[in-house]
Amino acid sequence: MYILTKKIEFPPVHFAAEDGLLAIGGDLSTERLSLAYRSGIFPWFNEGEPIIWYSPENRMVLFPEELRISKSMRKVIRDQQFKITFNTAFEQVLYHCKTIYRPDQGGTWITDDMENAYLEMHKKGIAKSVEVWENDVLVGGLYGIDLGSVFCGESMFSTVSNASKMAFIYLVEKLKKENYKLIDCQVHNDHLASLGAREIDRIDFLKYL
């Protein structure tokens, strides 16, 4: 494991440990975060811990053409239960992702410093969001880093059934029309696997970046 200094750089990702742990320390500046995502690296740590950087050997991704939409979700889409917007309420989406209760997690990895860092990236047009509304109430959404041809998903939330799925489906369909190569989902997730996401080797993932 490498200890980062003030210099904006990372070690080669093939130096990562078996669990993907690559480096520790550094900062959450827009410059460092942008370099991280372009290099196949992302931060992942809890409140009170130092900044930890990962680059797992197996990367969970979704190729837009491989999106799977179940019959039940197709009905939800047809019924027009939700209104979907893009990048209009980033701060609200980030706040919900940070504070929503997740029964399978002891807490949030979106620390105050992390929240401020992504808000700054949003101001600079790098971090973007998808919002899902029901009766003018924000009920779901997601946010991530837009690299131009690859979108790195960071977190999603839902307060009603199917809202986070709607956000993800809308994002994939939008990026498909814009010829994006893939959506980075970072690590395996059963929810995203059901929508067509799968793991690829880190070497292959880096080629898309």
pLDDT above 90 for 43? yes
Per residue in 116-129, pLDDT (tens digit) is: 999 999 999 999 99
d(CA 175, CA 167): 12
**What is the average pLDDT across 178-192?**
94
Residue 138 pLDDT > 70, yes or no? yes
**pLDDT tens, residue by residue, 169-178:** 999 999 999 9
> What is the side-by-side strand order in the sheet with 2-4?
2-4, 21-25, 52-54, 42-43
Confidence of residue 98 (pLDDT cuts 50, 70, 90): very high
Asked if pLDDT for residue 5 goes beyond 60, the answer is: yes
> Is the C-alpha dihedral spanning 66, 178, 92, 54 positive or negative?
positive
Domains and CATH numbers, the chain: 2-56 (3.30.70.3550), 60-208 (3.40.630.70)
What's residue 100's pLDDT?
Answer: 87
* Average pLDDT score, the chain: 94
Q: 84-93, pLDDT tens digit by residue?
A: 999 999 999 9
- Give the confidence band of 106 by pLDDT, cuts at 50, 70, 90: very low
- CA 56 to CA 77: how far, in whole Å? 34
